[in-house]
Chains A and B, each alone.
Chain A
Amino acid sequence: MSIAEIQQAEGRRTSVLRRFLRKRSGVAGLVMLVVPMVAGLCAPLLVRLEGQDPHTFHTDLLDPDGGRPLGALGGVSAEHWLGVAPVTGVDLFAQIVYGIRSSLFIAFGASILSIIVAAILGTAMGYFGGWVNAVAGRLIDFMFGFPGLMFVIAIMAIVPPELPRGLVLVLVLAFFGWTVPARIIGAQASAINARAFVEAARATGAPPGQIIRREMMPHLFGLVVVLFAMSLPTNVSVVAGLSFLGVGLRGDVPDLGKLLSDSLPWIYSGADVWYMLFPGAVVFLIVFGATLAGDALRDVLDVRTEDAA
């Protein structure tokens, strides 16, 4: 790369950032996503600051008749920032920040894995075309025949209990997540592959690796980033949804979807609405924030994702 090219590339990168920062919805989304993310990352620290832990029962803070938390807003106080859970009286703030941790960890893992697979396969589909494209295209068609969420739920029935469920979730979600991105990347890659500069590189005798790395990948980078940003909120809500259905994480690992699922009887009876509202708001912030940020990023990078899917 010549110095002029490097300067040009860097010039573009700062302008992408600047253009993103000019989008109010994108910045708002990023904040909505990053605040819970940082809270999740610093969970042990925040919980120590609060002076609680996610597993200690505080039955003294509950109404002995029925087990709902005493006090306003589900027992919010200086000791328990977001109140306590009904029945057990565990600290809700600690449960939520640790819950963010596990939910985001799985969602990030699944998104990263599926987009890596999609990027490799899509680039190969575009570059090699022909039978590679045909076989991969058929495979994607085949994957579309599976009833997505139903199949994921079904698979959770046969997961051996000794496997770590978080890892299984990452793999299962990635397994179903790569298809649409791969098709979009494949279409884009084959369009790039047909362009004159790739032809020129080929004419100079550049090896395939170099053409893919130097000529095609820079043009696919934006698309890959956007597809990642778009898959993240989906995976966050699927992870939470699976826990909500009782087939996600097991045991006493704090988890946002599990909290929401536990809150169901308490909103049916209206006894403790806050048990649902606090974790629900956090899930909403993450998912909505990531969607807004992804949308803004798509506009800024000027990537089209509607075709081909």
Chain B
Amino acid sequence: MTAYIARRMVTAVFMLLAIAFVTIALFFGASKDPARAMCGKPCPAETKAKVSAYMQTDQSVVWQYGQFVKGLVAGRTYGEGAQQVECAAPCFGYSFPNRSDVTSLIGERLPVTLSLALGAAVLCLVVGIGLGALSAIRKGGMVDRFSTGFAMFGLSVPTFLVGLLVVQVFGFMLNVLPFSGFVPFSESPVDWAWHLIGPWMVLSFILAASYVRVTRTQLLNELSAEHLVAMTARGASPRQVNRHAVRGVMVPISAMFALDVTALLGGSVIAEKVFSLHGLGDLLLSGVNESDLSIVVGVTLFSAFLIIVGNLVVDLLMPLLDPRIRRA
């Protein structure tokens, strides 16, 4: 078991290093010069070279990669003397147009993304598993037909369409929900939730669809499995049988859930745009629109980091939930 954990962790670290390398090589090796945007207009070659040296974008990609990794672990310093800026560890780069390190920019946006992700995840889990279980228990019934259609919708309709409809219906036509803005939880938990109901509905609708499907198929599989048929035959109550069936359903659901939460934490760009929330996705978009490559690379790698950690968590949790994996 220890060897398994150690192997997974080493793989995860290597994955991260490799993804960071590809990302940095792609973005800082690209023809677009990050110094160009910073040096203003007109931009004499001499000034540009200075800016470039200050931003450390004149160095080779491999060197920049080394610096990035070093920055993550030990922090990084740009320039010297009066112009010197420190970027404390974990340093995801420094945004010169914003005069701020990317880590604190991410930190500013994280509460929004976190609120969005956690609420949507909880809602989607409740709705998805609930509908899935109900439709498996009464297969072919009203709930089943409704939730199959629901799942079909959620799996295919683009997020932005659902978002626009929610804004239109609840925000404008019924005028019951605010459709933009964010209130920090610490200020007023009620207002916080009130402002987030719209985006939560949208994201959980999209996500819940696959939970409905997986719960339904898994539960049907479990309930018709031989050991549960045998249990029923021996006179076990439906409650006891269901309790055993649930365990088999929980394994794939928890794996899916962990991955979805990390993906949501990495930014839900479209929902943020529809509801004008300034989360991580919005930060990435602003980086793209202002050609601020430090932000682009920093946010992308932060998301990648979350995804890999999420995968690692799943890999480590699965053997605990499922003895069959433990033995393999």
Interface residues of A (CB under 8 A from B): 141-142, 144-147, 149-151, 153-158, 160, 233, 237, 240-241, 244-247, 257, 260, 263-264, 267-268, 270, 273, 276, 280, 283-284, 287-288, 290-292, 295, 306
Contacts across chains A and B counted by CB atoms under 8 Å: 134
Contacting pair B26 A158 (CB below 8 A)? yes
Max count, chain B CB within 10 A of own CB: residue among A142, A156, A260, A267:
A267
Task: Determine the residue in chain B with the shortest Cβ distance to A269.
Answer: B172
Instruction: Quote the shortest CB–CB distance from B316 to chain A (angstroms).
Output: 16
Q: 1/0 per residue B117-158: CB within 8 Å of A?
A: 000000000000000000000000000000000001101111
Instruction: Quote the shortest CB–CB distance from A241 to chain B (angstroms).
Output: 6
8 more A-B contacts (CB under 8 A) besides A154-B296, A268-B171? A145-B18, A153-B288, A154-B299, A244-B160, A268-B172, A280-B164, A280-B165, A287-B157
* B215 in contact (CB, < 8 A): no
Contacting pair A287 B156 (CB below 8 A)? yes
Contacting pair A147 B288 (CB below 8 A)? no
Instruction: Quote the shortest CB–CB distance from B296 to chain A (angstroms).
Output: 5
Contacting pair B172 A146 (CB below 8 A)? no
Q: What would be 30 A-B contacts, judged by CB atoms less than 8 Å apart? A: A142-B15, A142-B19, A145-B304, A146-B307, A150-B267, A150-B269, A150-B284, A150-B299, A153-B285, A154-B299, A155-B26, A157-B288, A158-B31, A160-B31, A244-B160, A244-B273, A247-B288, A257-B160, A260-B160, A267-B168, A268-B167, A270-B173, A276-B168, A280-B161, A284-B161, A288-B153, A288-B157, A291-B156, A292-B152, A295-B152
Contacting pair B307 A145 (CB below 8 A)? yes
When A and B form their complex, which 6 residue pairs have the shortest distance between CB atoms, in order from nearest? A147-B303, A237-B158, A291-B156, A157-B288, A158-B30, A270-B172
- On chain B, the residues within 8 Å of A306 by CB distance are 217
Main secondary structure of the interface of B (DSSP, over half): helix
* Given A154-B296, A156-B288, A158-B27: A240 and B160 interface contact (C-beta under 8 Å): yes
Instruction: Quote the shortest CB–CB distance from B46 to chain A (angstroms).
Output: 25
Max count, chain B CB within 10 A of own CB: residue among A144, A157, A241, A264:
A157
Alpha-carbon distance A244/B164, docked complex (angstroms): 11
- On chain A, the residues within 8 Å of B255 by CB distance are none
* B291 in contact (CB, < 8 A): yes
- On chain A, the residues within 8 Å of B297 by CB distance are 154
* B199 in contact (CB, < 8 A): no
Contacting pair B167 A245 (CB below 8 A)? no
- On chain A, the residues within 8 Å of B303 by CB distance are 147, 150-151
Alpha-carbon distance A267/B288, docked complex (angstroms): 25
Instruction: Quote the shortest CB–CB distance from A206 to chain B (angstroms).
Output: 36
* B249 in contact (CB, < 8 A): no
Contacting pair B157 A284 (CB below 8 A)? yes
Contacting pair A157 B291 (CB below 8 A)? yes
Partner of A147, one of B158, B270, B304: B304
* B198 in contact (CB, < 8 A): no
Contacting pair A151 B300 (CB below 8 A)? yes
Contacting pair B27 A245 (CB below 8 A)? no
Contacting pair A245 B269 (CB below 8 A)? yes
Contacting pair A241 B164 (CB below 8 A)? no
* Given A150-B284, A244-B270: A157 and B293 interface contact (C-beta under 8 Å): yes
Contacting pair B15 A154 (CB below 8 A)? no
- On chain B, the residues within 8 Å of A233 by CB distance are 156
Contacting pair A147 B307 (CB below 8 A)? yes
Instruction: Quote the shortest CB–CB distance from A25 to chain B (angstroms).
Output: 9
Contacting pair B164 A264 (CB below 8 A)? yes
Contacting pair A147 B266 (CB below 8 A)? yes
- On chain B, the residues within 8 Å of A270 by CB distance are 168, 172-173
Contacting pair A150 B281 (CB below 8 A)? yes
Contacting pair B152 A246 (CB below 8 A)? no
Instruction: Quote the shortest CB–CB distance from B184 to chain A (angstroms).
Output: 22
Instruction: Quote the shortest CB–CB distance from B29 to chain A (angstroms).
Output: 9
Task: Determine the residue in chain A with the shortest Cβ distance to B263.
Answer: A147
Contacting pair B158 A145 (CB below 8 A)? no
Contacting pair A246 B18 (CB below 8 A)? no
